[in-house]
Structure 1
Amino acid sequence: MGGRRDGAKGGAAGRPAGSDLTRRVLLAGAASLASGTGLAAPAEPGRTMLVTHAAFAAHETGPSHPERPARMRALDEVLAGPSFAGLRREAAPLREDAEAAILRAHAPAHLAAIRALAADPGGLPARIGPDTVVSAGTWEAALRAVGAGLRAVDAVCEGGSVRNAFCQVRPPGHHAERARAMGFCLFDTAAVAALHARARHGARRVAVVDFDVHHGNGTQDIFWSDPDLFYASTHRMPWFPGTGAASERGVGNIWNAPLKEGDGAAPFRAAWAQHLLPALDAFRPDLIVVSAGFDAHEGDPLGGLRLQAADFGWITAAIAEVAERCCGGRIVSLLEGGYRLDALAASGAAHVRALLEAG
Structure 2
Amino acid sequence: MTLLLTHSACLDHLTPPGHPERPDRLRAVAEVLGEERFTPLARSEAPEGSLDSVMLCHGELYVGELRHIAPTSGLVYIDGDTSMSPGTWEAVMRGVGGAVAAADAVMSGEHPNAFVAVRPPGHHAEASRPMGFCFFDNAAIAARHAQRKFGIGRVAVVDFDVHHGNGTQDIFWADPSVMYCSTHQMPLFPGTGSRGERGEHDTIVNAPLAPEDGGAQFRSAFDNLILPQLEKFGPELVIISAGFDAHYRDPLASLNLRADDFGWVTRKLLDLADRHAGGRVVSVLEGGYDLQGLKESVAAHVTALMGA
On whether the aligned pair clears a TM of 0.5, the verdict is: yes
Distance 1:221 1:312 in 2: 25
What residue is the counterpart of 2:183 in the other structure?
Answer: 234
- Is residue 2:59 matched to residue 1:107? yes
Amino acid at match of 1:92: A
Partner-residue secondary structure (3-state), 1:182: coil
What residue is the counterpart of 1:297 in the other structure?
Answer: 247
Q: CA deviation at 1:186?
A: 0.2
- Is residue 2:12 matched to residue 1:61? no
* 139, 158, 177: which one aligns with 2:126: 177
What residue is the counterpart of 1:44 in the other structure?
Answer: none
> TM-score normalised to the size of structure 2?
0.98
Give matches, 1:110-259, under 5 Å: 110-118=62-70, 120-121=71-72, 124-160=74-110, 162-250=111-199, 251-259=201-209
Give matches, 1:69-108, under 5 Å: 69-95=23-49, 98-108=50-60
* 267, 289, 301: which one aligns with 1:339: 289
Distance 1:130 1:199 in 2: 35
Q: CA deviation at 1:159?
A: 2.4
Distance 1:135 1:67 in 2: 13
Partner-residue secondary structure (3-state), 2:284: strand
Q: CA deviation at 1:121?
A: 2.0
Q: CA deviation at 1:107?
A: 1.0
Amino acid at match of 2:53: A
Amino acid at match of 1:277: L
What residue is the counterpart of 1:353 in the other structure?
Answer: 303
Runs of 4+ in 1 over 2 A off after TM superposition: none
> TM-score normalised to the size of structure 1?
0.85
Partner-residue secondary structure (3-state), 1:222: helix
Distance 2:62 2:251 in 1: 30
Deviations 1:145-189, CA, capped at 9 Å, x for gaps: 0000010000000123x0000000001000000010000000000
Amino acid at match of 1:196: H
Distance 1:133 1:51 in 2: 24
Partner-residue secondary structure (3-state), 1:170: coil
| Percent pairwise identity | 53
Deviations 1:211-264, CA, capped at 9 Å, x for gaps: 000000000000000111110000000110000000000020000000000000
Q: CA deviation at 1:281?
A: 1.4
Deviations 1:113-155, CA, capped at 9 Å, x for gaps: 110111x425x41111101111010000000000000100000
Partner-residue secondary structure (3-state), 1:104: coil
Distance 1:49 1:121 in 2: 33
Partner-residue secondary structure (3-state), 2:80: coil
Partner-residue secondary structure (3-state), 2:132: coil
What residue is the counterpart of 1:279 in the other structure?
Answer: 229
What residue is the counterpart of 1:315 in the other structure?
Answer: 265
Partner-residue secondary structure (3-state), 2:248: coil
Distance 1:127 1:65 in 2: 13
Unaligned residue ranges in structure 2 (runs of 5+): none
Distance 2:48 2:135 in 1: 16
Give matches, 1:325-336, under 5 Å: 325-336=275-286
Deviations 1:188-216, CA, capped at 9 Å, x for gaps: 00000000000111121111000000000
Amino acid at match of 1:110: Y
Partner-residue secondary structure (3-state), 1:121: coil
Distance 1:333 1:314 in 2: 15
Q: Name the stretch that deviates more: 271-280 or 215-224.
A: 271-280
Deviations 1:78-123, CA, capped at 9 Å, x for gaps: 000111111000000124xx210110101111111110111x425x
Distance 2:302 2:38 in 1: 8
